[in-house]
Structure 1
Amino acid sequence: MKHKLIVLLLTFCFVLSAQNIRIISQYELPLKNIKSAHYPTLNEDGNLLLFSSESYRGLYLCNLETKEVKNISEDQNAGYLPAFSNDNSKVFFRNTTFENGRRYDALESADIRTNSRQQMIKPQRNLRAARSYQNGAIVLADNKLYKTTFGRTKADIPVYISSENLKIYVYISGRRTLINPLGGENTNYIWASLSPDDTRILFTATGKGTYICDLKGKIISSLGYLNAPVWYNDRFVVGMQDKDDGQFITSSQVIMISADGKFKKPISHPDHIAVYPTASSKAGRIIYGTPEGKLIVTELSVN
Structure 2
Amino acid sequence: FNAQFAEDGSTVIYRKSEYKGKLRYSSLNSVNLQTGKTEQLVKPTRNLEGVTVKGGTVLAVNNGKLISKRIAGKKLKNLPAIPSIKNSQLYITIDGKTKQLSPNGTNVGYLWPSVSPDGGKLLYYVIDEAKANVCNIDGTNPVSLGTLRAPVWLGNDWVVGMVDYDNGEIVTYSQIFAVTSQGTHRTALTDQSKICMYPSTSDDASKIVYTTQNGEIFLMNVATSK
* TM-score normalised according to structure 2 size: 0.90
- Classify 1:221/1:102 alpha carbon distance in 2 versus 1 (closer, same or farther; 3 Å): closer
Q: With CA pairs under 8 Å and 6+ residues apart, which has the higher RCO, 1 or 2?
A: 1
Contact 1:211/1:219 (8 A) holds in 2: no
- Is the contact between residue 7 and residue 54 of structure 2 (CA under 8 Å) also seen in structure 1? yes
2:222 counterpart SS class: strand
CA 1:192 to 1:154, structure 2 compared with 1: closer, same or farther past 3 Å? Answer: closer
User: Which string of whole-angstrom CA distances, capped at 9 and with x for unpartnered residues, describes residues 270-300 of structure 1?
Assistant: 2011111111252621111112111122122
Residue identity opposite 1:145 in structure 2: L
Q: Who is 1:247 aligned against?
A: 169
The correspondence for 2:128, drawn from 207, 222, 228, is 207
Distance 1:95 1:189, change over 3 A: closer
Q: Which has more helix, going by share of residues?
A: 1
* Greater strand share, structure number: 2
Which blocks of at least 5 consecutive residues in structure 2 are unaligned?
none
Structure-1 separation of matches of 2:110 and 2:25:
23
Counterpart for residue 179 of structure 1? 101
Structure 1: runs of 5+ lacking an equivalent: 1-79
How do 1:84-99 and structure 2 match up within 5 A? 84-99=5-20
Residue by residue, what CA displacement relative to the aligned partner does 1:188-232 show, whole Å, maximum 9, x if unpaired? Answer: 111111111111111111232211101221124221111110001
Corresponding residue of 2:85: 163
How far does residue 134 in structure 1 lie from its aligned partner after superposition? Answer: 4.8
Residue 107 of structure 1 is matched in structure 2 by: 28
Paired with 1:196 and 1:145, the residues of 2 have a C-alpha distance of 20
C-alpha deviation, 1:173, in angstroms: 0.4
In the alignment, is the contact (CA less than 8 A) between 2:91 and 2:101 conserved in 1? yes
Tell me what 1:191 maps to: 112
SS at 2:49 equivalent: coil
Distance 2:182 2:83 in 1: 21
- The separation in 2 between residues aligned to 1:216 and 1:129, in whole angstroms, is 17
Q: Quick one: percent identity of the two aligned structures?
A: 29
Residues 218-262 of structure 1, C-alpha deviations (whole Å, 9 max, x = no match): 124221111110001101100111111122211011011111111
Could you tell me which residue of structure 1 aligns to residue 42 of structure 2? 121
Specify the alignment match of 1:137 in structure 2: 58
